Amino acid sequence: MPEGVYYVTGFVIALIIALVMTPLVKKLAFKVGAIDKPNARKVHTRIMPRLGGLAIYAAFVAAFLLLYPFLPDGLLNRYDMNLIKGMLIGGTIIVLLGGLDDRFELSAKVKLLGQIAAACVVVFGFDVKINLLNIPFGASMQPIAEWIAIPLTIFWIVGVTNAINLIDGLDGLAAGVSAIAIGTILVMAVLMGFEPVILLSTLLLGGILGFLVFNFHPAKIFMGDSGSLFLGFSLATLSMLGFKQVTIVSFVTPLLIIGVPLSDTFFAIVRRMVQRKPIFAPDKGHLHHCLRELGYSHRKTVLIIYGIAAFFGACAIVQAAVVQSPAANWVTFAVIAILLFVMQIGAELIGLVDKSRRPVLNMLQRLRLKTETDSNTK
């Protein structure tokens, strides 16, 4: 049987399980008191059930366990099974942590310690870590010393896990952005022939899309921290294929895959430093908040961010596709330069850091006026 049949079957199984489980999880959330109440920082105006991440997690794990006995021999032998084991066990820890937070609202310190523990399971328990980097304009695949690889991997997993959590502010936003990132990884895995990553990505994608049916605006349930942390953890682990085992993917590719949550997190840190606020202090200055302030509807705001995430994903695929060509370094440089410029202009236009500070836009305005003045004098 063609391997593609197993991937499609896994996707359908995960999708169906998520469609069935989400309404059940919704009832469970109300029963145990895992609810989200409206406040000044939140967009919704009524009590909403959390714990939606349990449906995504259940769909992913159940689909894998149901499909595993029927997979052809050798399909998973070509890949380091430690990645799968690390995702399942570390992901379970993350979901339990997020579920407890959905119900009891754990402190930031406790959540951080739990995330570090899950990352340590992946790194020390299953020896999954970033040990090779392909740096633009450098020699191909530079090995990394163990003392750097371990903290770098833990930092990457915890950072990406929290980045997804930070963008979970509108109906369907975190789920949709995660689905686009997983879809990007799936396309790259297909192009590179990584069967296990294709399998894991299709299962995750099926679970996310099944949940998104109930989570897109107007949402009937929120994924909660159980969902956003699990998706962030899964993305961090899967996107490490860009650092480990894949010699044709450069250092910047994993950053592009999750460009929206990472850039939003970066601008949030800069914004709070400019405003002299604690870095972890919550605010209403995130990308989705700014777009809403510009007058875009809830649904249009989410769709705009989907478009931005898809653009980042397309750049990642292009970057991966050309990285072995003679012009790879220049393509990488051009992609990074264009994205940084576009991100800065976009941040200034919508006031992502400070609505009164627009250094690049002001510089462009001065250049335009100077050009017009010079033309008139001639």
In whole angstroms, give the CA distance from residue 200 to residue 210.
16
Q: Residue 35: which H helix or E strand, with range?
A: strand 35-36
Neighbours of 244 (CB within 10 A): 17
Is the C-alpha dihedral spanning 70, 71, 77, 79 positive or negative?
A: negative
According to the annotation, is 165 in a ligand binding site? Answer: yes
Cβ distance 144 to 241 under 8 Å?
no
Neighbours of 64 (CB within 10 A): 20
In whole angstroms, give the CA distance from residue 39 to residue 32.
21
For residue 73, give the 3-state DSSP assignment: coil
Burial class (CB in 10 A: 0-12, 13-18, 19+), 1: exposed
In whole angstroms, give the CA distance from residue 128 to residue 122.
6
Rounded to a whole number, what is the distance in angstroms from the first to the last CA of the chain? 74
In whole angstroms, give the CA distance from residue 124 to residue 122.
6
Per the annotation, where are the binding residues? 165, 225
Per the annotation, where are the binding residues for Mg(2+)? 165, 225
